[in-house]
Amino acid sequence: MKSKEPLKVCLITPHYPPEFGWYGQGRDAMELAEELHARGCHVEVIACAEKLTPGETWQDGIKVIRTDWRSKGSENGLVAHSLPQARVLMNINLSAWHAYLQSARTSEFDIVDVAGFSAESLIPAIMSDCPVVASVYDNPPAFLSREMELIGDSGFKFEKLISASLATLSSKCVSGVSTIGAEKIQGDHFEKRNYSLDTQAFSPEGPSAIDTKGRPALLIHSSIQSDKYKTLVSEIVSRVKKEIPDLWLTVVAHDIFSESSESEMKAALAQSGIECDMVINHVMARLLMPGLWRSSLCGLILDWEVMAPYAVLEPLACGKPVVAENQSAAVGYLSGKEFVRQPSDFNVDDVASILIQMIKDETLRTRLGNESRNYILANHCRKSNADRIVIAYEKAIEKFKAKGRHEKIERIEKVLDQIKSIAQGLDQWLYDLLFVRSFRFRVSHWLKKFRKNQPAGRR
């Protein structure tokens, strides 16, 4: 089945590059948006703003609306003190809902695709103008996880109830689900797919970014400011250079952020024993990464949680085998692949030995490179993923048109049931809050227990 007209798609995602980096869920949303746009679809993206000014911008012909999710109101309010994490989630949802309603005034969407980690789907689904589908990822957005860690847990059960309820509300509202790296989901199941990558831009064919002057080249992608990784890189490189003295070393660091600091960092690394030919910060190098990988024989990926999974997918798409730090290798669908070496005991000698073998053995390197490229084409090609997603969109649209009034009422009833459970939890939260904060309330609590001749204890 083919659409008569190009689809009008609204993507609601917490993260869209360049905000919060070029990795994770935001990068996947960007790959999908760009592929849909290339096919003639009208695409609008709603995402959180961080460093950029909230408002409407255009990126590569795609309308991107960035929301001010940090407008939290008073820092001294009751919710701010007692439900700080739930407050962040609600602010993200409210800012996304508001942006969607504003966009819906001028755009009649055929489909809304939300990153289903919270309740972003609630308002678009209640409007019932078009079907809403969810893209469920294996992990929450990295920036949100960092925010939650900084805030900390309030200790109230009600906060956990709100967080869980928001995710449940989202699952009850959507017409279908597409999972990315996630094994288990709730709701109807469209399909399971992996993160998408532009396999035309990232490919073995194309220009190199560096003239290595015929020297064997190794690319290390890592944080480099911390003493831990500075020492680790120094020890690994020194061992590799004992076997390969003319090694060309390029370091792409994701914790330096300006061109001026690159030359300073190169000198600082030299003092730490890391004689490298180039140091590049990954933000500046993003468009250079295909050429950088083509210039290298293989790669070493360290400290890559915040860059998962693209820090590894990019070299593989360029046909370059890599060694990845095993403690960061949480991407399950890459485990067991020979072209991604992940030593169970990530020690310097083993890593250096694997890198030396890859650099010296051209036959092995070629085989692993071909396997890695074929794996990416079979699992992470954004064109193939978009083909399946468009078909899922069209099925959801047809299913939505066929839905009767009774089915829509049932869906809203499910949402109301979930809201009732939140209201019940609100009563317990207020009781717990007053018990903790108010001496007068605690005295009243114990007096009532005593008068009723009940065992003392909180409800």
Nearest to 220 by CA among 291, 286, 297: 297
Q: What is the tally of helices (H) and strands (E) in the chain?
A: 16, 14
> For 348-404, where are the alpha helices, taking DSSP H only?
348-360, 362-379, 382-402
Structure tokens at 240: 């590799």
For residue 185, how many C-alpha atoms fall within 13 Å in the half-sphere facing its CB? 28
Least confident span in 174-178, 214-218, 316-320, 378-382: 174-178
Structural domains in the chain, CATH included, are 8-198+384-432 (3.40.50.2000), 217-367 (3.40.50.2000)
Structure tokens at 60: 């590569």
- Residue 51 or residue 405, greater confidence: 51
Distance CA 58, CA 272 (A): 43
Count CB-CB contacts under 10 A for residue 286.
Answer: 16
How is residue 197 annotated by DSSP? B
Count CB-CB contacts under 10 A for residue 171.
Answer: 19
Longest CA pairwise span in the chain (Å): 89
Distance CA 318, CA 368 (A): 11
Q: How do strand 217-222 and strand 298-301 relate by DSSP bridges? A: parallel
Q: Is the pLDDT of residue 448 over 70?
A: no
Distance CA 128, CA 259 (A): 49
Question: pLDDT band for position 122 (50/70/90)?
Answer: confident
Per-residue model confidence as pLDDT tens digits over 123-180: 888 777 888 888 888 888 888 888 888 877 766 666 676 666 666 666 666 777 777 7
Sheet holding 8-12, edge to edge: 55-59, 62-67, 42-48, 8-12, 111-115, 132-137, 176-180, 191-193
What is the residue type of 181? G
Distance CA 407, CA 414 (A): 11
pTM of the complete model beyond 0.85: no
Contacts of 361 (CB under 8 A, 6+ apart): none
DSSP 3-state of 70: coil
Per-residue model confidence as pLDDT tens digits over 335-350: 678 888 887 778 899 9
Distance CA 368, CA 267 (A): 34
